[in-house]
């Protein structure tokens, strides 16, 4: 059964608005894809940071996301409502950790992250089904981001 569309309260509740990717999660189709697209400007800002700063900021966004996603799930009455896309934002940032600069890598990272987030190979699907709360909403996308980051780094090495 498809969850109900996001309520109009996402536009007036700042925490819900953040959890829903500044409204990108309100897309009528593929909200996770739109949430990942919303992560690109944030990545663009973070990409020039030293690796340590990038990593620390990503961890901070993950910790914030656990609370935000848990809050949004309670407000919406649905665990991991498709409109909650903060997890996609953090997953994409993980994918892009140490990625080379350039639009081609942004696109490749986007495609790889979406592939792993949708496909959910082991243990991602298991974690998605078994871990609850804000941490559960976040952790499957963290794992998808790690898988995508590994493959992205392999492509960096293999492609000229």
What does the alpha-carbon distance between residue 41 and residue 21 come to, in Å, rounded to a whole number? 12
Enter the pTM of the model: 0.96
* DSSP states along 42-63: HHHHHTTS-HHHHHHHHHHHHH
pLDDT in tens, the chain (160 residues): 566 788 888 999 999 999 999 999 999 899 999 999 999 999 999 999 999 999 999 999 999 999 999 999 999 999 889 999 999 999 999 999 999 999 999 999 999 999 999 999 999 999 999 999 999 999 999 999 999 999 999 999 998 7
For 77-121, how does the pLDDT look when each residue is reduced to its tens digit (9 = 90+)? 998 899 999 999 999 999 999 999 999 999 999 999 999 999 999
What does the alpha-carbon distance between residue 32 and residue 34 come to, in Å, rounded to a whole number? 5
Report yes or no: 59 and 67 within 8 Å, Cβ to Cβ: no
Residue reference for tokens 């892009």: 96
Among 73, 68, 86, residue whose Cα is nearest residue 21: 86
């Amino acid at each position: 059964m498809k969850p109900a569309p996001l309520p109009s309260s996402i536009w007036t509740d700042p925490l819900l608005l953040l959890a829903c990717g500044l409204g990108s999660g309100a897309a009528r189709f593929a909200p996770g894809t739109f949430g990942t697209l919303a992560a690109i400007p944030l990545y663009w800002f973070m990409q020039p940071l030293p690796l340590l700063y990038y990593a620390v900021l990503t961890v901070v966004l993950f910790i914030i996301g656990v609370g935000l996603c848990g809050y949004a799930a309670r407000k919406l009455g649905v665990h991991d409502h498709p409109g909650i896309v903060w997890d996609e934002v953090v997953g994409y940032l993980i994918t892009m950790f140490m990625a080379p600069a350039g639009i081609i890598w942004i696109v490749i990272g986007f495609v790889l992250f979406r592939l792993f987030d949708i496909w959910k190979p082991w243990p991602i699907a298991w974690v998605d089904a078994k871990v609850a709360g804000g941490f559960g909403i976040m952790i499957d996308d963290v794992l998808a981001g790690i898988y995508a980051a590994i493959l992205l780094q392999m492509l960096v090495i293999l492609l000229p």
